[in-house]
Structure formats: C-alpha cells, structure tokens
Amino acid sequence: MKKYPFIFQRLLPKNTPLNLISQHVDCIYQSSLLLNELLRYYFSNEEISRFIEQISFFERKADTIKNELRQLIRNSLKISFTREDILQFIHIQDNIMDSIEDFAKLLFLNRISFIIDKQVEKLLNSLCDEVVNSIKNYKEMIDTFITGYNYGFAKPIFDLQKKNIEQLDDLEHKIDTLSLDLGKIAFSFKDRYNAIDIIHFNNLIILLSKIPNSISRLTDKILDFMNY
C-alpha cells in the first residue's frame, strides 16, 4: 500500500515540465528588468553591487527550478515531449540567464577608465532595451504556448505565435545592427585607450547579443513542440 502514493506522485506530479519552464522564464524576465537601471548606475559611476545580488538571486532560483525539472522528467512515468528535447530546451533557456548574470558581473568587475561618449552610451542603452524587449516577447510566446497546450492549438494560437516570431525576428535584426555598430566603435578606440577596456566593452556587447540568438533557437523548438 505504501507504494501507491509514490506511483500517484509519478503519474500526477505537483508540477509539470511546462510550469517549471514558465517559472524559469519568469526568473529570466525579472532579472532582465534590472538591466536598464544597472547600466544607468554604471554610467553614473554609482555603486551597482545590489543589482548583482538581485540578478544572482534570480540565477540561483532559476538553477533550482532547472534541477527540479531534471528530477521531474527523470521520475515521471508520462511526459508529453521527449526527455532529450526538454533537457536541451531548458539548457538553451538557461544560457539566457547566464548571459544576463555574466553581463552584470562583468560590469561589476571593471570600470572602464575612459569617459564613454554620450552617443555610445545611448547605443548601448538601446541595445539593452531591445534585449529586454526580446525577453519580454519570448516570455509572451511561452505563455501562449502553454495556453495552446492546455486548451488546444487552434488557429488563433498559431497566428499569435507567428506574430510573436515576426516581432522576435525584427528585434534580433535590430540587436545585430546595434551590436555591429558598437563593435566597430569599440575597435576604433584601439589606438587611444587601454586594450583591457576595449576587450571589456566588446565582451559586454557580445554577452547581450547572444541572448536573441538563444531565443531564436528556442522559438524553433516551440514550433516543433506545437507540431508534436
């Protein structure tokens, strides 16, 4: 008799893979909302440690959720998608959280010694804005996918996802353009400024620009899931 509760728990777990993926996305989204203010404090030469602590909190929470998801799909008797697909999905999604945390920590580790031109500051803020927007749109896509999974993937759901993907593609293009512009500016400083600062600045751009690439891979997988 003692085995029955365990069997029921495996058949009907408290959480589902999609619920945990949604919770994981929420950690990413909440941490992304700190990026604009983090940059503002950085450019103003103000203390940014509290932002690092908050983002690290969300990263640890995301790690806990990721581990819970791994344990869930290892123990569940029945799941809607292959274990390999879910593990790959959460791995790519977790890369977004890592990029945000790495970006914040890189800002904390080094203060650029030269004064950043206002135009460059504006471009970097614009890049950050578009990255935050892409995460917001991705979160909406996950929410729509879960709604469709629970109630059926009717045509309106597919149409909404198509619209989300078009918006994400547009954001990815904007981010690529801004990243290239900022990269050119960074290397135009090579004869005037400290090489470490140039590399540091360029690495900040790379970390942000990796995020839409991860999102693009995830949207492809979501479409695959919808066609299961």
What confidence score (pLDDT) does residue 3 get? Answer: 43
The DSSP secondary structure of 140-161, one letter per residue, reads HHHHHHHHHHHH---HHHHHHH
CA atoms of 225 and 121, how far apart (whole Å): 40
What pLDDT is attached to residue 228?
Answer: 64
Torsion, Cα 204 207 208 213, to 10 degrees, reads: 150
pLDDT at 122 over 70: yes
pLDDT digits (tens, 9 = 90+) for 41-60: 998 889 999 999 999 999 99
Q: What is the structure's pLDDT at 163?
A: 86
State the CB neighbour count (10 A cutoff) for residue 201. 23
CATH architecture of 3-226: Up-down Bundle (1.20)
* Model pTM score: 0.88
Better-scored residue on pLDDT, 7 or 74: 74
pLDDT above 80: residue 74 = yes
| Long-range contacts formed by 58-63: CB under 8 A, 24+ apart | 58/27, 58/28, 58/30, 58/31, 58/97, 59/27, 59/31, 59/97, 59/98, 59/100, 59/101, 61/27, 62/24, 62/27, 62/28, 62/94, 62/97, 63/94
Distance of CA 192 to the CA centre of its chain: 34
Query: pLDDT-derived band of residue 187, with 50, 70 and 90 as boundaries?
Result: confident
Contact criterion met (CB below 8 Å) for 133 and 215: no
